[in-house]
Amino acid sequence: MAFLNDQTVQQLADALNGNDRAQEWLQRQGRQELVMLHDAIRFDDDSAMEWLHEYGHDDLGLFVTAVDGDPYAVQALYDGKQSRLAACAGAVLGDERSMQYLQRNNMKQWINLVNAIKKCMEE
């Protein structure tokens, strides 16, 4: 997976919150994998999940599975050295230690992503 900097994570969070300009920004940056991640989370789009796996973004597919409630997927993210994704997924699932990790490390954009995903899950 390509590195997710703070700006990109914030744009993903904004897109999940319904901001069309943020989704367009992801597209202009050539981050098709994040557009598919957006669709998989926001719209529960199975074809987006298939795309992620087909084009080698298994870590993002695993992230979607994790935020959908699979604690084994969260552990698999940690095992795969994707600690930020794992902590974000854990926080979505209500793991207090994961949220504390994000807060302690001043990862505001990741916390915004957690909140955006939770909002999508409620809708």
Identify the residue whose tokens are 């981050």: 31
List all residues 6 or more positions away from 91 whose beta carbon is below 8 Å from its beta carbon: 98, 99, 102, 111, 114
| Range(s) of the domain holding residue 49 | 6-122
Asked, for residue 44, whether it belongs to a domain, the answer is yes
User: For the chain, what is the domain count?
Assistant: 1
- For the CA atoms of 67, 70, 75, 76, the dihedral, rounded to the nearest 10 degrees, stands at -90
pTM of the model: 0.94
Return the DSSP state at 56: T
Is 1 contained in some domain? no
Residue 1 has pLDDT above 80, yes or no: no
Q: Identify whether 78 is part of a domain.
A: yes
In a domain, 62, yes or no: yes
The predicted pLDDT at position 3 comes to 74
Residue 35 lies in a domain: yes
pLDDT (tens digit per residue) in 76-109: 999 999 999 999 999 999 999 999 999 999 999 9
pLDDT at 10: 97
pLDDT in tens, 19-75: 999 999 999 999 999 999 999 999 999 999 999 999 999 999 999 999 999 999 999
Q: Is residue 13 domain-resident?
A: yes
